[in-house]
Amino acid sequence: MCGIVGYLGEKNPKTVIIDGLKKLEYRGYDSAGVAIIHNGKTKRIRAQGKLKALEEKVLNEDFNGHVGIGHTRWATHGAPNERNAHPHQVGEVSLVHNGIIENYLEIKAELIKEGAVISSDTDSELVAHLIWKELQKNQNLLLSVQIVLKKIIGAFSIVALWEKSPNELVAFKDGPPLIVGLSKDTEKSEFFVVSDVQAALVHTNRFVYLNDREVVHIKDKAVNYYNADGATLKKEITVLNWTADMVEKMGYRHFMLKELYEQPRSVAAAIAPYIDTDTHAVKFNDQGKSFNSETIFKSIERVIFVACGTSFYASMIGKYLIEQICRVPVDTDIASEFRYRRPVIPKNSLVISVSQSGETADTLAAVRLAKEQGAQVLSITNVAQSSIDREADAHMYMNSGVEIGVASTKAFTSTLALLNVLALQISKARGSLSPVSEKEYVQNLLTIPSQIEVVLAYDKYFSEAAKELQKYKGFLYLGRGVNYPIALEGALKLKELAYMHAEGYAAGEMKHGPLALIDESMAIVVVAPSDELLDKTVSNLQEAKARGGKIISIGTGENKALKDMSEYYLSLPGSLWTTNPIIAVVPLQLMAYHLADSLGYDVDQPRNLAKSVTVE
Contact string 489-528 vs ligand M6R (x = CB under 6 A): ---x---x--------------------------------
**Residue 211 backbone dihedrals phi, psi, to 5 degrees:** -90, 170
67: which residues sit within 8 A by CB, 6+ positions away? 7, 8, 13, 36, 37, 161, 166, 167, 168, 169
Three-state secondary structure call for residue 586: helix
The single residue of 258, 410, 493, 611 carrying the catalytic annotation is 611
Q: Is 559 in the site for ligand M6R (CB under 6 A)?
A: no
157 versus 311: smaller Cβ distance to ligand M6R: 311
Expressed in angstroms, the distance from the first to the final Cα of the chain is 11
CB of 590 to ligand M6R, least distance (A): 14
Binders in 323-362 for ligand M6R, by CB under 6 A: 355-357, 360
Is 326 a catalytic site residue?
A: no
Q: How far apart are CA 66 and CA 8, in angstroms?
A: 6
Residues 359-378 that bind ligand M6R (CB under 6 A): 360, 363
Which residue type is seen at 438?
A: E
Q: Please say which residue, 88 or 410, places its beta carbon nearer to ligand M6R.
A: 410
Shortest spacing between CB 477 and ligand M6R, in angstroms: 14
Minimum distance of ligand M6R from residue 585's CB (angstroms): 11
List the 302-307 sheet strands across, edge first. 330-334, 302-307, 349-355, 376-381, 394-397
Instruction: Check if the beta carbon of residue 566 is closer than 8 Å to that of residue 469.
Output: no
Residue 432, classed as helix, strand or coil, is coil
Distance CA 208, CA 145 (A): 20
Helix (H) or strand (E) holding 281: strand 281-282
- Cβ closest to ligand M6R, residue 311 vs residue 399: 311
Find the residue with minimal CB distance to ligand M6R: 309
Answer yes or no whether residue 406 interacts with ligand M6R by CB under 6 A.
Answer: yes
Among 99, 309, 318, 481, binds ligand M6R (CB under 6 A): 309
Where are the extended beta strands (E) located within 295-348?
A: 302-307, 330-334
Shortest Cβ 310–ligand M6R spacing (Å): 3
Size of the site for ligand M6R (CB under 6 A): 16
By CB under 6 A, residue 311 contacts ligand M6R: yes
Q: Is 612 in the site for ligand M6R (CB under 6 A)?
A: yes
Contact stretch for ligand M6R (CB under 6 A) within 118-126, 320-328, 400-408, 558-566: 400-408
* Min dist. Cβ of residue 29 to ligand M6R (A): 14
Which residue type does 388 have?
I
> Any contact of residue 399 with ligand M6R (CB under 6 A)?
no
611 catalytically annotated: yes
Answer positive or negative: Cα dihedral of 518, 522, 527, 529.
Answer: positive
Please pick, among 2, 308, 428, 493, the residue that the annotation labels catalytic: 2
Q: Which stretch binds ligand M6R (CB under 6 A): 212-220, 405-413, 438-446, 587-595?
A: 405-413
**Residue 408 touches ligand M6R, criterion: CB under 6 A:** yes
Ordered DSSP codes for 76-117: SSS-SSGGGPSPEEETTEEEEEEEEETTHHHHHHHHHHTTPP
Q: Which burial class, exposed, middle or buried, applies to 533 when counting CB atoms under 10 A from its CB (0-12, 13-18, 19+)?
A: buried
Per the CB < 8 A criterion, the answer to whether 358 and 389 are in contact is yes
Binding interface with ligand M6R (CB under 6 A): 308-311, 355-357, 360, 363, 406-408, 492, 496, 612-613
Q: Which residues are catalytic?
A: 2, 611
